[in-house]
Amino acid sequence: MARKIGLYGIIAYILYGLFFYWYLFYFADTSLPFEYEGSKADPATFLNGRELMLSEEYSKIRNLLFFLSTPFEWLFYLFVLLAGLSGAFKKWAGQSSKYKIIQTAIYTIWLTFFAFVATFPLSYISYSLSKSYNISTQSFSSWMKDELIDFWINFGTMFIIVAVLYWLMKKSQKRWWLYAWLLSVPFTLFVMFLQPVVIDPLYNDFYPLKDKQLEAKILELASEANIPSEHVFEVNMAEKTNALNAYVTGIGSNSRIVLWDTTLNRLNDEQILFIMAHEMAHYVEKHLYIGIAGYLLLSLVGLYLTYRLMNYAVNRWGEALKIPAVHDIRSFPLFLMILSMLLFVSSPVSNFVSRYQEMRADRYAIEMTGNTEAGIGTFQELSRAGLSQVNPPLLVKIFRYGHPTMLERISMIEEYEIEKMRQSEE
């Protein structure tokens, strides 16, 4: 049975990979609808021939890597179970210490290490790809340092999850999912509160905006939206990437708006103010807190479904998977596999909500600044810097895009311009 499950898993993964290779390289049409040709959203109007070619090449390969990476993670966890590695980790942990908490830490470090080794080739391919297309400027040693930071953060997080989760499972085999969710609420909020001041600085240097003239303009814009001025930071990213970005992070007193220094170097002040207005919209419209609420609701449903699916899988295939009971720590790879599958399946919904919020923020930025030219120039430069497709394939948009496509963002601004012209004529 174990061999049959493993064989079916490998066949399913190969067929899945072939489908997305065919879809991305031969079936999907990324050309613009004819009504947008020659518009400001047409990449041919702001990218040269070489940039257009590189954009298509890079996007196809990067999207294929995305679709291959997540199911590969499922296949890895399935292999860990079928090969008895999860049982071996538990055995090694038991032989190393008589203390339960140390045994849990040893089990977790082995699983984290094997997962790191298994996924390292795909991570390296992704790094090499971005390097070859001049998106990444990061040295191998710097990239490896970030990978190792990821490893230890993943280990620490996973250790806490394993220790708490399996303690709850043994205390209540029918309600552990609910208690786990209740504990996850303060834990999630605590991590989000710490992230800007503890986790993010492990990777990059953050500091208040250096350009004081630009800072004065941003502060003036922020005051119009009643946003605390101390929440604007810049981060040193030029040594790692040529891509541009700005984002909102943290909650409460640690919340802040962050600008990459690449964004500051590549865009003019008017374009940066447009981005700032966009990020301020997330504060004004409480998108961060709406996102937290949505995440917590989704995690409640996800944990309940994980509980049901784990019981079903152990009852039906427990012997083949070498899992004697759900509350045995050997079932943890199954827990991670099911949770990852549910996150992947639910991503179209969460991405749809995110795209709606981002479109609202774009609209807010246009109305706040009144500078449509800066908005269009910003999105065109974002496309150029990241070699992103203006009109990506439908499945890529559904599963990958938490922002509207550049076609949607630029055309929305053009429609706003037309609307304003009509109003002025009336």
As beta bridge partners, residue 249 has 256
The pLDDT score that the predictor gives to residue 195 is 85
Which amino acid, one-letter code, is at 244? L
H or E stretch covering 127: helix 100-132
Span 6-32, average pLDDT? 92
Residue range 139-181, pLDDT digits in tens:
999 999 999 999 999 999 999 999 999 999 999 989 999 999 9
The pLDDT score that the predictor gives to residue 69 is 94
Q: Which residue has the higher pLDDT, 15 or 424?
A: 15
This prediction's pTM: 0.90
The pLDDT score that the predictor gives to residue 422 is 78
Span 116-145, average pLDDT? 94
> Are the C-beta atoms of residues 249 and 189 closer than 8 Å to each other?
no
Q: By C-alpha distance, which of 300, 286, 21 is closest to 178?
A: 300
> Are the C-beta atoms of residues 353 and 294 closer than 8 Å to each other?
yes
- Residue 10 reports pLDDT greater than 70: yes
- Range with lowest mean pLDDT among 133-142, 148-157, 205-214: 205-214
- Residue 425 reports pLDDT greater than 70: no
- Residue 426 reports pLDDT greater than 70: no
Residue range 68-98, pLDDT digits in tens:
999 999 999 999 999 999 999 999 999 988 8
Span 266-272, average pLDDT? 91
Q: Which residues are annotated as a binding site for Zn(2+)?
A: 278, 282, 358
pLDDT-derived band of residue 220, with 50, 70 and 90 as boundaries?
A: confident
pLDDT-derived band of residue 218, with 50, 70 and 90 as boundaries?
A: confident
The pLDDT score that the predictor gives to residue 228 is 65
The pLDDT score that the predictor gives to residue 346 is 93
As beta bridge partners, residue 144 has none
Catalytic residues: 279, 362
Rounded Cα distance between 423 and 426, Å, is 5
Question: Using only C-alpha atoms, what is the Rg of the chain?
Answer: 24
pLDDT-derived band of residue 21, with 50, 70 and 90 as boundaries?
A: very high
Span 342-349, average pLDDT? 94
Tell me the CB-side half-sphere exposure of residue 87, using CA atoms within 13 A.
13
- Range with lowest mean pLDDT among 125-134, 246-255, 351-360, 406-415: 246-255
pLDDT-derived band of residue 132, with 50, 70 and 90 as boundaries?
A: very high
As beta bridge partners, residue 235 has 206, 260
- Residue 415 reports pLDDT greater than 80: yes
Rounded Cα distance between 222 and 224, Å, is 5
Torsional class of 228: left (φ above 0), alpha (ψ -120 to 50), beta (otherwise): beta
Rounded Cα distance between 304 and 312, Å, is 13
- Residue 36 reports pLDDT greater than 70: yes
The pLDDT score that the predictor gives to residue 37 is 85
Where are the chain's structural domains? 2-204+286-425
- Residue 396 reports pLDDT greater than 80: yes
Encode 303-334: b = buried (16+ Cβ within 10 Å), e = exposed. Answer: bebbbebbeebbeebbebbbbeebbbbbbbbb
- Residue 107 reports pLDDT greater than 90: yes
DSSP state of 331: G
The pLDDT score that the predictor gives to residue 339 is 94
The pLDDT score that the predictor gives to residue 423 is 73
- Range with lowest mean pLDDT among 65-74, 266-275, 330-339, 416-425: 416-425
